[in-house]
Structure 1
Amino acid sequence: MTDHEQQSPASFWESRYREADRAWSGRANAALEREAVDLAPGRALDLGSGEGGDALWLASRGWRVTAVDISPTALERGRAAADYAGLGERISWVEADLATWIPDGEFDLVSAHFLHSPVELPREAILRRAASAVAPSGVLLIVGHGAFPPWSTHRHEGPPLPGPDAVLTSLALPVAEWTVLTSAMVDRDAVSPSGEPVVMTDAVLTLRRAVSV
């Protein structure tokens, strides 16, 4: 067992964010910008929000966002960025472990990006709860790594990463209640931690819930 596997999820992610002044770019994920750009603003739930790049992008487009993450440092950075941008009143920051946290109410958009972890993370259970929080006519967006980043030290461990079809199957959703909007492996340009340009592949699944009758 490696050292990080002996850590609790809370201590692992808090340590990860404290290692540097910023863990991520601060920009919204490309899949979110592409999949949500034409959605009418409403209530959004950002699962694993990190330092808030997605939450800020949504808030800037008129959404009211609930941003959930396990790391208080990540949330504080997101809150500070939102206040600086004049978006603080549009985002609620929630410190919680997604393994046990249950969404409160329904949301017009539920977004979960890159819920992968070298420490324990019940991803399927989290995503099923995410689906249950989508309001009628709302959208569920799930984005994962289609392949491990080239620099990842964990890329050869465990089973292959699930593609969008496998994620959809694992959700076990009632077929009549959901429409698949996107199910695709999508390449995007990125930069490695050492500054080298790389091409990453995202597994993108976007679903719309039917209107209640």
Structure 2
Amino acid sequence: MTDDKPSTAEPSTAPLTPAQSWDARYAEKERIWSGNPNAPLVRETSDLPPGRALDLGCGEGADAIWLAGRGWRVTGVDVSRIALERAAVHAREARVADLVDWQWHDLDETFPEGDFDLVSAHFLHSHAGLDRDRILRAAVATVAPGGVLLVVGHCGMPPWETDPTPDMALPTPDEVLASLELPDGEWEVLRSEEHERVQNDPEGRPVTRVDNTLMVRRLPKG
């Protein structure tokens, strides 16, 4: 039996989960990002010997694919299944699919297992809410002796952002370093700086933005 009366229930006002929010973002276009690896990743890791890498917030896979192309075995993690599906396609096109393990994680809830020689977190900011400090401390625990953690972030919101999220974390390198709570004598700071880059705004006009990089290395045992 069916009830033909119109529903009087109020529409759901529950906030989107991070997965729903980012899936909606990726569904807007066939490609969100440029497809090129992030410049700080290229600059800071080109001289590192290939090993095991973890890419947190891998998006459509450009960083993970670039690393795989240089011989790294990469675990690429994202909360958007749409992004991961695209990343897998791009990896096959680049003929590095056998070197990348794409994993879905809501990093506020679960974290990939294993030890890594490189853990990369580029622009791990989210409008959907994210306990960034806790996630980066979890990342610290996965860095193998002699391995590095590379954290790159924005220093501020882009000038075209009309509705900035007030609680989005945009810390300085020193604030990121303090939040990691690294044990004394077990880590060294390789890079802690701000730097400019040019990015096109939504209208295609070049805009100069300021980002920051923190790179720390876990000292080898003994």
What TM-score results when the alignment is normalised by the length of structure 1? 0.94
Change (3 A) 1:91 1:33: same
Aligned pairs, how many?
Answer: 211
Point out the more displaced range, 56-65 or 149-158: 149-158
- Equivalent in the alignment of 1:32: 41
Matches within 5 A, 1:11-50: 11-50=20-59
Matches within 5 A, 1:94-105: 94-105=103-114
Q: One-letter code of the match for 1:85?
A: A
Matches within 5 A, 1:1-213: 6-155=15-164, 157-158=166-167, 161-213=170-222
Q: Distance in 2 between matches of 1:110 and 1:154?
A: 31
Is contact 1:4–1:118 with CA below 8 Å preserved after alignment?
A: no
Q: One-letter code of the match for 2:172?
A: G
Is contact 2:127–2:168 with CA below 8 Å preserved after alignment?
A: no
Q: One-letter code of the match for 2:217?
A: R
Point out the more displaced range, 45-54 or 156-165: 156-165
Change (3 A) 1:29 1:106: same
Q: Distance in 1 between matches of 2:101 and 2:161?
A: 32
**Deviations 1:25-53, CA, capped at 9 Å, x for gaps:** 11101110111111110000000000001
Q: Distance in 1 between matches of 2:103 and 2:67?
A: 16
Change (3 A) 1:54 1:159: closer
Q: Return 5+ residue gaps in structure 1 as ranges.
A: none
Deviation at 1:200, TM superposition (A): 1.5
Point out the more displaced range, 148-157 or 126-135: 148-157
Deviation at 1:147, TM superposition (A): 1.4
SS at match of 2:211: strand
The structure having more radius of gyration, on CA atoms, is: 2
Identity, % of aligned positions: 51
SS at match of 1:100: coil
Give the alignment's Cα RMSD to 1 decimal. Answer: 1.7
Deviation at 1:119, TM superposition (A): 1.3
Is contact 2:123–2:152 with CA below 8 Å preserved after alignment?
A: yes
Change (3 A) 1:58 1:173: same
- Equivalent in the alignment of 2:9: none
Change (3 A) 1:9 1:158: closer
